[in-house]
Structures are given as C-alpha cells and as structure tokens.
Amino acid sequence: MLVEIKIFSSLRHYVLSSEKHLEGDKWDIPEGTTVSRALKMLNLPQKEVKILLINGRHGDKERVLKEGDVFHVFPPMMGG
C-alpha cells in the first residue's frame, strides 16, 4: 500500500535507501503496518522521534497506517 511519509530536519539522515521508497515522499509498505513498524523500516530511532502527525492529527505509534495516509515525523524542536 502507498503512504506519504515526510521526515523532517535531523531525522532525514537516518533514512536508508530502499526499494520501498518511491518517487518523492511516497513509500510502499505492507498492509497492516503500524507507525512503530514504519519507523523501524525507515531506520529511525524511536527515541529521536518526538512528534508524529497522521493526516494532520496527532499520531500514536500503535496506529495502523492505511492506504493514502500522510505521515509526518519530527525530531525534538529547539529554538527560542
């Protein structure tokens, strides 16, 4: 199934090249994949992931992703 996964800032360097990464931010992941499993597939350390949004709403790591979901992954925010 296809989902759009947008990875921000310092997390981008963790993402491995993969045949599952299609054009742009599109990824082909198996049906029934949870957010937690998707983070592992992308090689993202879960302790570095602080904000998850799925279709513009707060995301839970146990949520099952669905075809067409837009998934945003953010590291801790810094600044002042």
Q: Note whether residue 46 is domain-resident.
A: yes
Mean pLDDT (the chain, rounded): 87
**CATH number of the domain to which 10 belongs:** 3.10.20.30
Q: Note whether residue 34 is domain-resident.
A: yes
The pTM of the full predicted model, rounded to 2 decimals, is 0.82
The pLDDT of residue 72: 95
Number of independent structural domains in the chain:
1
Written as six digits, the tokens of 78 are 């810094």
Q: Note whether residue 16 is domain-resident.
A: yes
Lowest mean per-residue pLDDT among 21-25, 27-31, 45-49: 21-25
Residue pointed to by tokens 């599952």: 20
Q: Which residues pair with 57 in a beta bridge?
A: 54
**CB environment 52-73: b (16+ within 10 A), e (fewer):** bebeeeebeeebebeeebebbb
Q: Note whether residue 79 is domain-resident.
A: no
The residue among 69 and 18 whose pLDDT is bigger is 69
